[in-house]
Chain A
Amino acid sequence: MNRINKVFKNKKDILSIYFTAGFPNLSDTNSIIQSLDNSGVDMIEVGLPFSDPLADGPTIQQSSTIALKNGMTTTKLFDQLKGLRKVTNIPIIIMGYFNPIMQYGVESFCKDCKSVGIDGLIIPDLPVEIYYKNYNKTFEKYNILNMFLITPQTSIERIKFIDKISSGFIYMVSSFSITGAVNSFQKEQKEYFERINKMNLKSPLLIGFGISNKQTYTDAVKYSRGAIIGSAFIKHLKEKGVNKISDFIKKIRQ
C-alpha cells in the first residue's frame, strides 16, 4: 500500500507541511524532512522550485527564487533524497510545476520518484483531463499517486470526475486564493466545505491555502481529514531557521 493511503487509513486530523527544496539553504532538504518527521507531522510536501510559480503567493515565490539562486535543480533534489527511505517512513509528495517535470521527462521523473521513495505528486498547472489522457498510465506504472485541486468554482461533475480518478486525496483549496496565510475562515468558505462534504466522495479531503495557525488548522479538520500548511511554515523557516521547526509544529498541534 502506498504510504499516502496508509496514513489516511491510520490517522485523523492529518497535518501536512510544505517546504521549498533548496530554501533557506541548498542542503537543508533532508534535515527539514527529518525535523518535520520527528515533530510529529503526518505528511510532507517538498516543493520543486520554479521560476514562475503562478499558483503561489509571494512567500513561496520568494523562497523558490532563493532556492534556484542557491542552485537547486531537479537532478540535485533527487540526489539529496537518495538516502531518504533509510531514515524516514513518512509519506512524501513532490509539488512542482509542469514545465520542469516535462523537461526532465514525465516517465523519468516518475521513475526517479519511485527509486528515492516519493509517494505522490501535486502538479498545479497540469489539468486533470490532460493528466488522465496522457500520463495516468505512467504514474500507475511507478505507483506514484497524483493529487488534484478543487476550488469553490469547480463544478460538481468535475469534482466527481476528479474523485473517480484520484487514488490519494483531493486537495481542497480553501478559497478563491493563491497560497498565503489568513487568520480565520469566512462563512462562505465553511459553506463550501460543507457542500463538498455532503457529496460523500470516495477520496479523503485535505484543506490547503490559507492555513496558518492552530485556529485555521482546527477549523479545517472539522471539514476534512486534515490540512496543508505552506506559506506560514516558509515564513517560520525564514525567520527562525531550520533548528526551530518543532516549535512551529507544537503550536499548531497543542
Chain B
Amino acid sequence: MKISYNVNKNGFYGDFGGAFVPEMMHANIEELKSKYIKISSEKSFVKEFDELLKNYVGRPTPLYFAERLSNKYKTKIYLKREDLCHTGAHKINNTIGQILLAKKLGKNRIIAETGAGQHGVATATVCALMGVKCIIYMGEVDITRQAPNVARMKMLGAEVRPAICGSKTLKDATNEAIRDWINNPIDTHYIIGSVVGPHPYPDMVARFQSVIGNEVKNQLKKIEGNENPNYVIACVGGGSNAAGIFYPYLDNKKVKIICVEAAGKGIDSGESAATSVLGKEGIIHGSKTLLMQTADGQITEPYSISAGLDYPGIGPMHANLYRSGRGQFISIDDKDAMEWGLNLSRMEGIIPAIETSHAFAVLDKIKFLKDDIIVFNCSGRGDKDLGTYIDYFKL
C-alpha cells in the first residue's frame, strides 16, 4: 500500500492528530467534521473563495526568482511571496475560507486566538468584510509585545480579550477561545489560525492554505518547465504556511521538504521553541502531537524572539513528517534568524517577518547544488517586527 502523508479518514496523520476534546465541544467538532469537505467543495463556495483570494487578498502571489541570493549561494532560489497578501501574511487564506464556511453553517459570531496578532488581524479583517461580530483572545503578555496589531484589530472593529491565566501567551489565548466556544456552542464559529487543534482543523486549515503550494506548482511549471522543485522550505510554529506550501508535494518524494523551527536562544538553553527536538508525544488543544512538556505532562512555555513561532506544539501533519522522516527538521536560533532578516532586506529588498527569516537561515546550513531548485515560503512581511529589528540592530 502506498504511504500517504496526508490525513486519513479518522483524522490522523500516522500516529498523530485525532480529536481529544471534552464532550462539551463534541457536537461542534462533529458538525464541522461532517460538513467541511462537502461545503468547501461546493461550486458556489469555490467560486466565492477564489474570487476573494484574487480580488481581495491579491492572489496569485508571485513566485519570485531571487537572483542576487541565487548567485551568492550558487543555486536557484525562488520566493513564494505570501508577504504580499492583504494583511501581510499567508494567514488570510485560511480566514477567508473559514469565514465563508461559518456563514454556510449559519454562525454569526466569530472567535479566534492569536499570538503575534497576525491571525487576529486576518480574522478581524474578514469579519469586517462580512459584517460579523469578532472576538479575539490574546495573551496579556502578547498584547503588550504586539501593540500595533492590537490597534489594527481594534481599528477593524474586533474586541480583543486578554487571556490572563497561565503564562498569558498563545497557548492560554487558545484555552480561552476553546472555553468561549464551549460556552457559546450554537451561534459561534472558532477560526483556529494554524494546522493545530482537534480534527478536522489541521486538515481544514491545510486545505485552505494549499492554494500556496498549488500556485507554486503552476508557476514553476511555466518558469522552469518542471512543477517539482528539489526543495520546499518553510518555517514551522504551528505550521500553517508550511502545510500550505507542502500540501501538493506531501506524497511526491522527488520534492524534499524542510521544516525550520525556532531554536530561540539555543536548543539546550531552556529557552527554545524547537518542538521536534524538545517535544514528546502528548495531547495539546485536542490533538495528539509532539509538544514541549515536563516529565509529568504539564505543558511548558516555549521561547523564540518571534512571537509567531513560540507555540509549544506543532501540527499533527508536521509531527508525522518528523517521525516518518519525510520532512527534514532544522532549528535556527534567534541570532541567525535576525541576521537573515537583515540579509534578505539588503540583498533582495524584502523585509521579512522574523518567523520567515528563520527559513532563509537554512541557506547557511545546507549545501545546495548548482541545478537545485529551491522554493522558500516567504510567509510574511516584517512591518510588524520593525520594533524588534530596530532594537536588535540598534538601527
Contacts and interface: CB of A to CB of B under 8 A. Distances in A.
Task: Classify chain B: how many residues form its interface, as a range.
Answer: 35 or more
B165 A58 contact: yes
Which residue among A50, A52, A125 has the maximum number of chain B CB atoms within 10 Å of its CB? A52
Contacts of A254: none
Interface stretch (B88-96, B153-161, B292-300, B332-340): B292-300
Contacts of A68: 298
Interface of A: 50-55, 57-58, 61-62, 65, 68, 73-75, 97-104, 124-128, 130, 148-151, 153-155, 158, 173, 176-178
Contact of A51 (B24, B184, B298): B298
Contacts, number: 109
Which residue among B19, B172, B182, B185 has the maximum number of chain A CB atoms within 10 Å of its CB? B182
Interface string B277-292: 0001011111000000
A118 B182 CA distance: 29
Given A50-B298, A153-B185, A99 B24 contact: no
Contact of B175 (A54, A124, A126): A54
Contacts of A103: 280, 282, 293, 295-297
Given A54-B22, A99-B284, A149-B24, A176 B185 contact: yes
Contact of B23 (A100, A101, A149): A149
Nearest to A73: B296
A149 B185 contact: no
Which residue among B19, B178, B298, B300 has the maximum number of chain A CB atoms within 10 Å of its CB? B298
Nearest to A50: B298
Contacts of A178: 24, 179, 182-183
A45 to B, nearest CB: 15
Which residue among A62, A102, A173 has the maximum number of chain B CB atoms within 10 Å of its CB? A102
B161 to A, nearest CB: 13
Nearest to A124: B22
B20 A62 contact: no
Contacts of A50: 297-298
Interface of B: 18-24, 26-28, 165-166, 171-172, 175, 178-179, 182-186, 280, 282-286, 293, 295-300
A116 to B, nearest CB: 17
A54 B23 contact: no
Contacts of A130: 18, 20
A102 B15 CA distance: 14
Contacts of B172: 52
Contacts of A97: 283
A177 B20 contact: no
Nearest to B296: A73
A127 B24 contact: no
B165 A99 contact: no
Given A52-B171, A61-B166, A149 B22 contact: yes
A55 B182 contact: yes
B297 A124 contact: no
A101 B297 contact: yes
B26 A125 contact: no
Contacts of A148: 23
Contacts of B165: 58, 61-62, 65
A151 to B, nearest CB: 5
Given A54-B179, A65-B166, A100 B20 contact: no
Contacts of A55: 22, 24, 182
Given A99-B293, A177-B182, 14 more contacts: A50-B297, A50-B298, A52-B175, A52-B284, A52-B285, A65-B166, A75-B296, A103-B296, A103-B297, A124-B22, A148-B23, A149-B24, A150-B23, A151-B26
Given A150-B23, A173-B23, A176-B184, A100 B297 contact: yes
A221 B171 CA distance: 37
Contacts of A104: 296-297
A125 B298 contact: no
Contact of B299 (A52, A62, A75, A125): A52
Contacts of B185: 153, 176
B282 A176 contact: no
A125 B285 CA distance: 9
A127 B297 contact: no
Given A61-B165, A62-B165, A102 B298 contact: no
B27 A154 contact: yes
Contacts of B295: 103
Contacts of A154: 23, 26-27
A54 B183 contact: no
Which residue among B178, B179, B297 has the maximum number of chain A CB atoms within 10 Å of its CB? B297
Contact of A127 (B26, B175, B296, B300): B26
B187 to A, nearest CB: 11
A54 B177 CA distance: 9
A126 B20 CA distance: 6
13 contacts: A51-B298, A54-B182, A57-B179, A65-B165, A68-B298, A102-B282, A103-B296, A104-B297, A124-B23, A125-B283, A149-B24, A154-B23, A176-B184
Contacts of A99: 282-284, 293, 297, 299
B301 to A, nearest CB: 9
A119 B99 CA distance: 46
Contact of B24 (A52, A102, A151): A151
A186 to B, nearest CB: 14
Given A54-B22, A151-B24, A125 B286 contact: yes
